[in-house]
Structure 1
Amino acid sequence: MSAPFSTPRTPFPRPPSTALREVLHRRDLAAFRGLAHRNWPGAGPVLPRLSRSADHGLLWLGAAAGLAALGGNARARRAALRGIASLGVASAVTNVLGKSAVRRQRPLLDAVPVVRRLARQPVTTSFPSGHAASAAAFATGVALESKGWGAVVAPLALSVAASRVYTGVHYPSDVLAGAVLGVGAALALRGVVPTRGQLPAPGRPPGHAPSLPTGQDLVVVVNEESGTATATAALVRSALPDAEVVECAPDELSAELEKAAGRGRALGVCGGDGTVNRAAAVAALHGVPLAVFPGGTLNHFAYDLGIETVDDTCTALIAGDAVRVDLGRFRPGPEGPGGAHGYFLNAFSMGVYPELVRAREHWAPKVGGWPAGVLAAWKVLRGDRPLEVELEGRRRPLWLLFVGNGMFQRVGPAPGRRHNLADGLLDVRVVHGGRAPGLRLLAAAVAGPLTRSPVHAAQRRHRVRITGLTPGTPYAFDGEVAYSRDELWVDKLPEALTVYCPMPV
């Protein structure tokens, strides 16, 4: 009997995806071994140390701190903050999703010279590279706010990414995927929290101002005790050699501003918001344009106009570019320019904020500006003593009354800048009295828009009348504190001030 007919068995065909993965892995492995055998001149003493320094994001935390401290302006601080925030997003996605979804083993170290290997080998899976993701996210986040600082950080980020292949802890594709993920994390964060460049340009009705490319006929008054004003004044002298720069103490500021407004075609000022406030009042009364050089701890008015550096103001002076802005007014005002009126560029407030300013000024000489601000905020937020006032004919207890010169818009989760400084409106916000309203308001701000808080209310007004005040009640305007009589009127002078401001490209 003959053997039954039979056909040879053929192996079950592999899925195309499996075959593709094997091909990619072979090529990845070949590239890894090729790089392992290649000589990297000068990399030996640098890349392993750089790779270790980037563990847990420590390198980038240090870079962000240095950038914020040495950058010297708000753009650098925003770049540092966005870099760290982007790193946080990338790190979470990489470690929570990426490494758990693709459980790839680390490369074998037999092809890597011993001198390159890390003393402590990572124990997590290989794909994607967390170091590369963090480096790319930080560098991209910084570049989205400041291209100049991004260019400085980029070589460091590339070196960290390369170090992961050089030390043998990642395949090239791990590093590439991590870098792509890091860039994507930074871009995704920008979609949620826009960069300053994405926001609409402030309202800018054009104003008339002379072109002063070398600073001739410009007198700049510097408050020598304001933030970084002294260092900024040196930059002004270098950029505008024909400008007259006068440095003075705070108690001489008003007199020097009055003199300067009478002997130049434009008035310049270097300092923080309080200093700029005094200069704005003088410039408006004398009808001269104002050139603002931000040099204080806080520079809200300048930043809302898009002026962050000396170069920004110089660009406007060269072209003669200027805008008209509204000037907030309250009456009766404190002693100073304007007589019976006081002026504000940013905000007027009563209640808790004057207390915060006074507490901050008390602690600042002892512990420094920022720690003093934290201590003052902690003290104020725990209080529950309301301010009893009659607002628009109705008696009510208020924890805070805030009147902004123009409408403040949201930037991310909190109120931020103004897009239009000539809208003719007052942004009136109140926090009603009650039990611990400060802590309740803080909780509402963390959870979402302040409009959701039952203790907060907001309106758009052209004028506000405040009566029933106890004489001597403190109020604050642009960071300065003064004391009221029994009644206050708050309104604004539309387009009353001309300010040098670079035009958007």
Structure 2
Amino acid sequence: MPAVDGPLARTPAELPSAESRTVDSALRALTTSANHGRLWLGIGIVGALVPGRTRRAALRGISSLAIASFTSNAILKPIIGRRRPEIERTAMGRRIERRPWTSSFPSGHSASAAAFATGAALELPLSALGLGPLAAAVAYSRVHVGVHHRSDVVAGAAVGVAAALLGKRLWPVKPTSPALMAAGDAPALPQGEGLTVVVNARSGSSDGAADALRAALPAVRIVEWDPDTDLADALPAEGEGSLRALGVAGGDGTVASVAAIAHDRGIPLAVFPAGTFNNFAKSIGALTVEQMASAVEEGRAGMVDLGFLNGAAFLNTASVGTYPEMVDRRDRYSQRMGKWPATALAVFRTLRHTAPWQVTINDRKFKVWIVFVGNGRYTPRGLTPSWRDQLAGGVLDVQFLRADRPLSRTRAVLMSFIGLPRFSGVYEAVEAGRVRIQLPEGPRPVAHDGETTAPVDRLDIQISDTRLTVYRG
């Protein structure tokens, strides 16, 4: 390492001295607590106990730290080999008992601190208020105790930030804002006047949905629907002047059924979250009944693509074969472990009892394990597609695992464990506005938006030429 790299190369003795012994003692304790990433691992373990974004922030922080630590300690330090600052130039009160013997450049402590803080902040921005100053204090402490030059610390911090951004590239961050939609217009309906909402009492958390709807929109008309009956018969006749918009409170399957009628009649749809997963409601920003009620009263709307599978409407996803079984296992396992290990275990247990099968996708023949179809491009790529950035892109996203590659099942499981099945060499995707799937070996079960249909041997899947107008949160 060159002896001169600008003002950042000043030695610790040139820094202002700390007048307080308390400060020296605190910084020595802080820098020691961060040895081998112990400080950050401790914070990460505590954060991982809290479900939701806090857990994701903790896990992303730890994974970013792992990348940064490996890069700085196993790659850069051996290559660069810079000497540590002379111990004699550090005041006695600042020195630590065990000085590191490895290369000074870059600072591994700074890399780990910046990586953890940046990674966590990508998932949970508010965490930067606490982790940012703590990471900066750890970085400064390395100069204060005389084991690093300033440039070591700056370079280490840069490595840490870069590691977190690389992690974001490999494992995308789930957005907090609704997915993009095309511009759309819908009438403002004060107190829900002109809105008829279908409530499926059998779906998820829809118990009490009718009461919540009446409290938020006193003028709303509510239709209790029995899924064993024809939905169209339960709704007001087409063209009735009092019907200006349709609403739905139920699971994604119920939402798709009502969406098909709203699309056919050319009226907007209001989706109230009252199902088990509420995937579509979340994608349009409707996290609560009150949020959607506000959108209805204000007339906030957009337009989204509506998919059709053999004539049946779907808003989110469709699949062939054992994919629904794999998703169900993954969701159950993820309550006890991280999402990636849960996915790997679900893939292993599903594929262990599954034989590969032949499929033709848009005239291309494959031997596959699993086939997934998204209404729009889903992220992350692979076996854990969770969200879409765009709801009106006009594209179907077909993702599948090939079975005609060596060790395909093993590769899929191993790469799923680290959340990177798309790099397994057995993952493939097809994007098109229309997809034809043929199953030459015979009919297989098909599911769309959580609803299972009778087995078929041919699927015609397409995006409707006209979009569906929806109220957005």
Does TM-score exceed 0.5, indicating one fold?
Answer: yes
Counterpart in 1 of 2:134?
156
Counterpart in 1 of 2:373?
403
Q: For 2:12 and 2:112, how far apart are their aligned partners in 1?
A: 22
Cα distance, 1:456–1:133 mapped onto 2, change above 3 Å: closer
> Paired residue for 1:279, among 239, 245, 255?
255
Q: Aligned with 1:484: secondary structure?
A: strand
- Is the CA contact (8 Å cut-off) linking 1:344 and 1:478 kept in structure 2? yes
Q: Deviations over 1:248-279 (max 9, x none)?
A: xxx99999x99999899664658xxxx23422
Cα distance, 1:269–1:69 mapped onto 2, change above 3 Å: farther
Q: Aligned with 1:183: secondary structure?
A: helix
Q: Aligned with 2:373: secondary structure?
A: strand
Cα distance, 1:288–1:139 mapped onto 2, change above 3 Å: same
- Is the CA contact (8 Å cut-off) linking 2:253 and 2:451 kept in structure 1? no
Cα distance, 1:490–1:25 mapped onto 2, change above 3 Å: closer
Give the structure with the larger helix fraction: 1
Q: Deviations over 1:52-81 (max 9, x none)?
A: 4433223334434555654634xx566545
- Is the CA contact (8 Å cut-off) linking 2:359 and 2:440 kept in structure 1? yes
Q: For 1:416 and 1:220, how far apart are their aligned partners in 2?
A: 26
Counterpart in 1 of 2:77?
99
TM superposition shift of 1:348: 1.4
Q: Aligned with 1:401: secondary structure?
A: strand
Matched to 1:95, the amino acid is N
Q: For 1:31 and 1:206, how far apart are their aligned partners in 2?
A: 57
Cα distance, 1:29–1:397 mapped onto 2, change above 3 Å: closer
TM superposition shift of 1:130: 1.7
Q: Are positions 1:63 and 2:34 aligned together?
A: no
> Paired residue for 1:458, among 427, 430, 435?
430
Counterpart in 1 of 2:222?
none
Q: Deviations over 1:281-339 (max 9, x none)?
A: 32442544234659967x7656665x4966987996686432221222334xxxxxxxx
Q: For 1:295 and 1:122, how far apart are their aligned partners in 2?
A: 56
Counterpart in 2 of 1:322?
301
> Paired residue for 1:242, among 176, 192, 216?
216
Q: For 1:369 and 1:258, how far apart are their aligned partners in 2?
A: 42
> Paired residue for 1:490, among 456, 461, 465?
461
Counterpart in 2 of 1:204?
181
Which sits farther off after the overlay, 81-90 or 165-174? 165-174
Counterpart in 1 of 2:15?
31
Q: For 2:165 and 2:400, how far apart are their aligned partners in 1?
A: 36
TM superposition shift of 1:146: 4.5
RMSD over aligned CA atoms reads: 5.5
TM superposition shift of 1:103: 2.1
Identity of aligned residues (%): 35
Matched to 1:51, the amino acid is T
Counterpart in 1 of 2:240?
none
Query: Paired residues, what number?
Result: 442
Matched to 1:279, the amino acid is V
Q: For 2:153 and 2:98, how far apart are their aligned partners in 1?
A: 19
Counterpart in 2 of 1:290?
270
TM superposition shift of 1:406: 2.7
Cα distance, 1:47–1:492 mapped onto 2, change above 3 Å: same
Counterpart in 2 of 1:247?
none
Cα distance, 1:164–1:409 mapped onto 2, change above 3 Å: closer
Counterpart in 1 of 2:445?
474
Matched to 1:377, the amino acid is V
Question: Counterparts in 2 of 1:20-419, with a 5 A limit?
Answer: 28-31=12-15, 34-35=17-18, 37-40=19-22, 44=25, 47-67=27-47, 70=50, 72-73=52-53, 79-100=57-78, 101=80, 102-105=82-85, 107-108=87-88, 111-113=91-93, 121-165=99-143, 169-170=147-148, 174-187=152-165, 204-210=181-187, 242=216, 267=247, 275-286=251-262, 287-291=267-271, 301=280, 307=285, 320-331=299-310, 342-357=312-327, 373-382=343-352, 385-387=355-357, 398-408=368-378, 418-419=388-389
Q: For 1:309 and 1:253, how far apart are their aligned partners in 2?
A: 24
Q: For 2:431 and 2:163, how far apart are their aligned partners in 1?
A: 37
Cα distance, 1:457–1:443 mapped onto 2, change above 3 Å: farther
Q: Deviations over 1:340-390 (max 9, x none)?
A: x643323211123144246558x7599689576543311234456134668
Q: Deviations over 1:379-421 (max 9, x none)?
A: 2344561346687799986433333223447769997754442
Cα distance, 1:359–1:57 mapped onto 2, change above 3 Å: same
Cα distance, 1:124–1:146 mapped onto 2, change above 3 Å: same
- Is the CA contact (8 Å cut-off) linking 1:327 and 1:493 kept in structure 2? yes
Q: For 2:358 and 2:159, how far apart are their aligned partners in 1?
A: 54
Q: Deviations over 1:88-127 (max 9, x none)?
A: 34323322355342122463597343xx765655443444
When the two structures are superposed, what TM-score results if normalisation uses the length of structure 2? 0.67
TM superposition shift of 1:462: 2.0
Cα distance, 1:127–1:460 mapped onto 2, change above 3 Å: closer
Larger radius of gyration: 1
Counterpart in 2 of 1:335?
none
- Is the CA contact (8 Å cut-off) linking 2:436 and 2:458 kept in structure 1? no
**Which 5+ residue runs of structure 1 have no aligned equivalent?**
1-16, 245-250, 332-340
Matched to 2:184, the amino acid is G
Q: For 1:400 and 1:413, how far apart are their aligned partners in 2?
A: 9
TM superposition shift of 1:128: 3.5
- Is the CA contact (8 Å cut-off) linking 1:467 and 1:487 kept in structure 2? yes
**Which 5+ residue runs of structure 2 have no aligned equivalent?**
219-224, 237-242
- Is the CA contact (8 Å cut-off) linking 1:351 and 1:398 kept in structure 2? no
TM superposition shift of 1:209: 3.6
- Is the CA contact (8 Å cut-off) linking 2:326 and 2:350 kept in structure 1? yes
- Is the CA contact (8 Å cut-off) linking 1:79 and 1:141 kept in structure 2? yes
Q: For 1:258 and 1:118, how far apart are their aligned partners in 2?
A: 77
